[in-house]
């Protein structure tokens, strides 16, 4: 179910009488598809006829979204085994790379034009540069999970990041690290679905060259985090 364009999976959720409600039946093999679709729509990004890399494919929500948006072929890479949905595993447009750590992958054929990534339990700071080494084009979209980016020594950290100031500092830290590596963080949008423990998640549009200085990105983050929205949990 979608309530005012946000995915809602809580049967006990309350919302206003004038809310716009849509029922969605199994649009993607996992809710990750909704996250990526939200970013593609926000940035008007087309993957039509492109060869794509899905890093951290898991069940295949991102891969499913890419195929539904017209991707010609998707390299689905994951360190796990037997996780990809059967409908995708048997799709001729999907090349399955199981038990494959994205960080040790040297090349792909055919070469992907762009990449999408949802790398659980790993900071995107350590992976973005390598993603660009595997693709030929100028952009990638990565899911940024603050719980994997935040300083684990932070007092009281329990795996869920709720403090807006910590979210701000974490996103700014990601930007600074990527910029120091020559990677640009062009824009960030919040995922329409929270993580399973309630963490807010963000999708980042990356480029091969830095495009926003610290002040410009800080203003972007400030606007993003001050938007008061109730986001349902996944």
Q: Is the pLDDT at 227 greater than 80, yes or no?
A: no
Q: What domains appear along the chain, each with residue ranges and CATH number?
A: 29-226 (3.40.50.150)
pLDDT band at 32 (very low <50, low <70, confident <90, very high): very high
**Residues 6 or more apart whose Cβ sits within 8 Å of residue 121:** 148
Residues 143, 203 contacting (CB under 8 angstroms): yes
How confident is the model over 52-101, as pLDDT tens digits? Answer: 999 999 999 999 999 999 999 999 999 999 999 999 999 999 999 999 99
Averaging pLDDT over each range in 26-30, 133-137, 208-212, 226-230, which range is the top one?
A: 133-137
How confident is the model over 149-185, as pLDDT tens digits? Answer: 876 555 455 667 778 888 899 999 999 999 999 999 9
- The rounded distance, in Å, linking the Cα atoms of 139 and 104 is 21
* Average pLDDT estimate for 30-50: 97
How confident is the model over 116-154, as pLDDT tens digits? Answer: 999 987 889 889 999 999 999 999 999 999 888 876 555
* Average pLDDT estimate for 208-218: 90
Q: What is the pLDDT of residue 164?
A: 86
């Amino acid at each position: 179910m979608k309530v005012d364009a946000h995915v809602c999976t809580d049967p006990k959720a309350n919302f206003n009488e004038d809310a716009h409600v849509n029922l969605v039946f199994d649009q993607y093999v996992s809710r990750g598809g909704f996250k990526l679709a939200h970013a593609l729509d926000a940035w008007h990004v087309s993957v039509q006829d492109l060869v794509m890399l899905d890093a951290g494919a898991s069940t295949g929500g991102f891969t499913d979204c890419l195929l539904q948006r017209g991707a010609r072929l998707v390299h689905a890479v994951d360190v796990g085994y037997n996780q990809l949905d059967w409908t995708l595993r048997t799709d001729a447009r999907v090349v399955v790379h199981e038990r494959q750590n994205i960080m040790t992958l040297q090349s792909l054929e055919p070469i992907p034009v762009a990449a999408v990534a949802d790398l659980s339990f790993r900071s995107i700071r350590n992976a973005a540069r390598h993603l660009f080494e595997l693709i030929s084009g100028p952009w990638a979209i990565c899911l940024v999970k603050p719980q994997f980016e935040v300083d684990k020594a932070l007092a009281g950290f329990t795996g869920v990041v709720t403090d807006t100031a910590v979210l701000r500092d974490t996103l700014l830290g990601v930007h600074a690290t990527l910029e120091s590596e020559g990677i640009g963080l062009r824009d960030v949008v919040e995922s329409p679905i929270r993580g399973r423990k309630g963490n807010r998640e963000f999708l980042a549009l990356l480029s091969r060259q830095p495009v926003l200085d610290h002040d410009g990105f800080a203003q972007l983050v400030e606007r993003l985090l001050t938007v008061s929205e109730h986001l349902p949990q996944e």
